[in-house]
Every structure is written in C-alpha cells, then in structure tokens.
C-alpha cells in the first residue's frame, strides 16, 4: 500500500529567495486568505515558537492570524514580517 503524505509548503521554504517568491505569488492571488496562508507557511518553516518570542505575540494569536477569514491588523503583519526578516514593498502595477 502506498502512503501519500499531505502537501506541506513549509517543508520547501528553506531559503530567502524561495520564501520571497512564494509570498509574492500569494499576493497575486485574488483571495486575500492566500497571503495569510502563505505567511503562516513561512512562519511554520521558521518556527512559530521563535516567531512568538520575536514578535511578542502569543503562539495562539499567531495561529489565529493565519486562519482563513481573519482580518489581522496591519501592525500585526508588520511585526510578523519584520521578525521573519522580510520587508513589504509596493510597486506600480504593470
């Protein structure tokens, strides 16, 4: 019998370039939940416990932040991205 493991993107987010491309692609999705899910995958890859320490946010709050349908405060997203060593930027639409 063949066992198939559920896909977990966080297992493949092992370098800065891959993480940046993954998050950028998630922003192109019209579903706003795509970015939160992708950010959650990055957080999982880096370690939720360490992210909690670095942001001052409780682990439970972080998990809730990444759930579909949530509308986190922008300052929460800024804390998370900064703690992950990421920056957000805006560019002109093509």
What per-residue confidence (pLDDT) applies to 90? Answer: 86
Confidence of residue 79 (pLDDT cuts 50, 70, 90): very high
CB atoms within 10 A of CB 76: 15
User: CB neighbours of 11 closer than 8 A, spacing ≥ 6?
Assistant: 45
What per-residue confidence (pLDDT) applies to 45? Answer: 96
Query: Could you tell me the pTM of the whole model?
Result: 0.88
**pLDDT over 80 (residue 1):** no
Both tokens assigned to 82:
């900064």
**pLDDT over 80 (residue 32):** yes
Both tokens assigned to 33:
């939940």
Contact call for residues 59 and 49 (beta carbons, < 8 A): yes
Taking residues 14-28, what's their average pLDDT? 94
Contact call for residues 58 and 52 (beta carbons, < 8 A): yes
Both tokens assigned to 76:
């929460």
Confidence of residue 5 (pLDDT cuts 50, 70, 90): confident
């Amino acid at each position: 019998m063949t066992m198939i493991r559920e896909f977990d993107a966080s297992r493949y987010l092992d370098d800065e370039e891959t993480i940046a491309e993954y998050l950028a692609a998630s922003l192109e999705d019209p579903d706003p939940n795509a970015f939160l899910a992708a950010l959650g995958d990055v957080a999982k890859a880096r370690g939720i416990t360490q992210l909690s320490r670095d942001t001052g946010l409780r682990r439970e709050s972080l998990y809730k932040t990444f759930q579909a349908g949530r509308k986190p405060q922008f300052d929460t997203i800024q804390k998370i991205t900064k703690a992950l060593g990421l920056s957000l930027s805006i560019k002109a639409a093509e």
